[in-house]
Amino acid sequence: ICVLPCNKLLSCKRHRCPDVCHRGRCRPCDNVNFDDLSCHCGYSVRPGPIPCGGEPPVCNQTCTRQHACDHPVTHHCHNDDQCPVCPFVVVKKCVGGHGVDIRVQCHVTNVSCGRPCGKKLPCGDHVCPRTCHAGPCIEEKDSPSSSSLVASSSSSSSSS
């Protein structure tokens, strides 16, 4: 029989089992925090003591974090690391420079109109076979029959 501490990480992932070495699962963490626990904005408070792993209180206030756009915030205060994406629909131009307006949610980037890129490749004989895209075009290497495609550095200066 082993008399050393178990010391396995408990299910809370914060504390270790203080019991003597044992078989099977460790008991639930019984650590408590005597401090109050608040939501992200500080409006709602859950008074201590709070068992280990206790969740912050639900808060119905509007989220006060910085957001990537200027649309009205439509979600409540939360404790997730990331805010939900902006649900507003906006019109954006396609990334390929085709001048096509596309209705998408505000957070969507690199909008493609789906048209062929059509930009001339540096060889001057071929056009980019990709659909509307951001970044450099691809070109056939060596000959048209070659199946090897490489990024064209000369096309990265203009959008397709």
Q: What is the pLDDT of residues 5-54, one digit of tens each?
A: 999 999 888 999 999 999 999 999 999 999 999 999 999 999 999 999 88
pLDDT of 141 higher than 60: no
Q: Provide the 3-class DSSP secondary structure of residue 157.
A: helix
Q: Which residues contact 70 (CB under 8 A, 6 or more apart)?
A: none
pLDDT of 116 higher than 90: yes
Q: What is the pLDDT of residues 89-99, one digit of tens each?
A: 999 999 998 98
Q: What is the pTM of this model?
A: 0.58
> Can you tell me which residue has the tokens 């206030």?
61
> Can you tell me which residue has the tokens 């450099």?
136
Nearest C-alpha neighbor of 28 from the set 41, 17, 39: 17
